[in-house]
Amino acid sequence: MIYIESSLVRTLVGAFQGTLSILFTLYAGYFIAQRGFVDQNTVKRLSKLSTSIFLPCLIIVQMGPELTVSRLGKLWIIPVWGLTSTLIAHLFGWIGQATFKMPYWTIVASGRPNSTALPLLLLQSLEYTGVLDRLSRPGESVSDTVARAKSILLLNAIVQQIITFQSAPFLLKYDKTKKDDSEENVNGRSHLTPGTSPLNLPGVVQDRERVGLLQAHRAYGATDDEPTAYTDALDPISEQPDLHWPYRLQFAERPVKKVFAMMSAPLIGGIIALLFGIIPPLNEAFLNKHGALYSSVTQSLRNLGDLFVGIQTVAVGAELALVSRAHPGWLPAAYSLSVRFLVMPALSMLFIGLTAGRGLYVDDKLVWFLLVLIPAGPSAMLLASVAEVVDVDQGPIAGYLVIAYLISPLMAVVCSLALEVVDIASARS
C-alpha cells in the first residue's frame, strides 16, 4: 500500500512538472504579445503557418512509419475512440446548453479538446520526468516511445480537425443569430445608428484619395435611392473567362470541388503519410533511414515538423493575450470545464478499465494511456478562430479559454490516474 502511494506521488509530481512546462510556454507567448512584439495579424499568420505547413510535415514524418498495413489493423481504436468520445462530449455540451439555456459555444467548448500542440508538448515534457518509462515496450527507449505516441496523437488530430470544421461553424451561428436579434429594437432599427437601416450604413473608407479616384463614396445617412456602385471598380474581374471542366467530366466537377473544400492541410498531410506508409517503394525511399530520399526530403520535413509544437503553443499564448476578453459567465465556464477535466477523463478511464486487456483491441499500454488523454484537457484554441469567422462575440469565449489554460496543470492528475488504470488493466492481460 505504501509502495502504491509513493508510486502515485512520484507519477503525480512528474506529470505536474510536465504540465507546468506547458503553462510556462503559454505564458512566454502571452508575454511576447503583451510587450508588443507581435500583433493580432502576426499571431494569426503564425498560427496558420503552423497548422498549414509545420503540422502536415510533422504528420508525414511521425505517422508515416506507423501507417503500415500491419500496424493500421492495430491502431483502429484510436480514430474510433477519438470520434466516439468527441461525439459524447458534444452531447454533454448540448444537454447543458439545452437545460441551462447557455450560449451555443459551450457545446463546442465541451466537445472539442486541444488535440495537437498541448498533448504533444505534454508528451515531450513527460519524456524527461520518467513518467513514460512505465509505458515503453521491452527494449524500447523513452524517445522511441514518445515518437510512437506522437504518431498516435496525430492520427486522432486529423479526426478532430474534420469534426471541428464540420460542426463548430454550424453551432456558433446560433449565437450570431441571438446577437443580431438583441441588437435590433422592436422597429427593426439599429441601436448604433438610430433612424438609419443597417443596410444604409456606408462602407468604411480607409483611403479616401484612392477610393475617390474610382467613385465618390456615399455620405453618412444616404438613402437607398442614391447610387453607391462600389462594385463598379471590380467590373473587369467579371470579364475573365468562365472556365469549366471538360463536358464529359462536368458530372464530377461539383462533388470533386466539394471534397477539396472539406479537406484541410492536416488531412492532406495524413493522406501523404498513409501513401508513404502502405506503398512499399515510397516507404523505402522516404521512411527508411537508408532510403534514397530520407536524408534530404524526409529530414527537411522533420526539421519543419519539429517547429510546430513550440511555435503553435507560443501562438496560443499570444492569442490569449490579444483577443478582447469578457467574463464568460460562471455557469457556462464551470460546466464546460467540468466536461473537459472531469467527465471525459472519468469516462475514458472507465472505458479502459472495462475493455483494455480483454483482446478487444491492441494490447499496448501506451495506446491505453493515450485513449484516456485524447478526450481530456482544455478546449481547442480553434474555438476563438471559428468565432471570429462566424462573427460572434469572442469576448466570453476568450475569457473561458484563459481560465481553461490556466488550470491545464490539472492534467497532471489525469495522467497519474490514467497510469494507475493502465497498470491495473495490464495486470489482467
Q: In this model, does residue 53 exceed pLDDT 90?
A: yes
Mean pLDDT computed over 151-174 = 82
The answer to whether 376 touches 349, Cβ cutoff 8 Å, is no
Q: In this model, does residue 325 exceed pLDDT 80?
A: no
Mean pLDDT computed over 65-93 = 90
Q: In this model, does residue 298 exceed pLDDT 90?
A: yes
pLDDT band at 384; cut points 50, 70, 90:
confident
Identify the burial level of 401 via C-beta atoms within 10 angstroms of its C-beta, where 0-12 means exposed, 13-18 middle and 19 or more buried: buried
Whole-number average pLDDT of the chain: 81
The Cα 174–Cα 172 span in angstroms is: 5
The strand pairing partners of 379, in sequence order, are 113
> What local confidence, expressed as pLDDT, does residue 342 receive?
97
Q: In this model, does residue 389 exceed pLDDT 60?
A: yes
> What local confidence, expressed as pLDDT, does residue 199 receive?
46
pTM higher than the cut 0.85 = no
Q: Quick: pLDDT tens for 234-284.
A: 455 545 555 667 777 778 778 888 877 777 788 889 899 999 999 999 999
Q: In this model, does residue 373 exceed pLDDT 60?
A: yes
CA distances from 149 to 343, 368, 399 (A): 23, 11, 31
Residue with cell string 484554441: 381
Cell of 33: 504579445
> What local confidence, expressed as pLDDT, does residue 6 receive?
62
Q: In this model, does residue 402 exceed pLDDT 80?
A: yes
Domains along the sequence of the chain with CATH: 2-183+266-428 (1.20.1530)
> What local confidence, expressed as pLDDT, does residue 223 receive?
45
The answer to whether 406 touches 335, Cβ cutoff 8 Å, is no
The Cα 27–Cα 21 span in angstroms is: 10
Q: In this model, does residue 211 exceed pLDDT 90?
A: no
Q: Which of 414, 420, 422 is nearest to 119 (CA)?
A: 414
Mean pLDDT computed over 116-125 = 83
Distance of CA 76 to the CA centre of its chain: 21
In this structure, the number of other CB atoms found within 10 A of the CB of residue 158 comes to 24
Best mean pLDDT range from 168-172, 182-186, 375-379: 375-379
Mean pLDDT computed over 208-228 = 46
Q: Which residue has the higher pLDDT, 185 or 159?
A: 159
The strand pairing partners of 184, in sequence order, are 190
The Cα 176–Cα 386 span in angstroms is: 12
Q: Which of 33-37, 217-221, 393-397, 403-407 has the lowest mean pLDDT?
A: 217-221
> What local confidence, expressed as pLDDT, does residue 242 receive?
57
Q: In this model, does residue 120 exceed pLDDT 90?
A: no
pLDDT band at 374; cut points 50, 70, 90:
very high
> What local confidence, expressed as pLDDT, does residue 3 receive?
46
The Cα 316–Cα 381 span in angstroms is: 7
What is the Cβ-side half-sphere exposure of residue 223, based on CA atoms within 13 angstroms? 1
The Cα 198–Cα 188 span in angstroms is: 9
The Cα 404–Cα 337 span in angstroms is: 7
> What local confidence, expressed as pLDDT, does residue 221 receive?
45
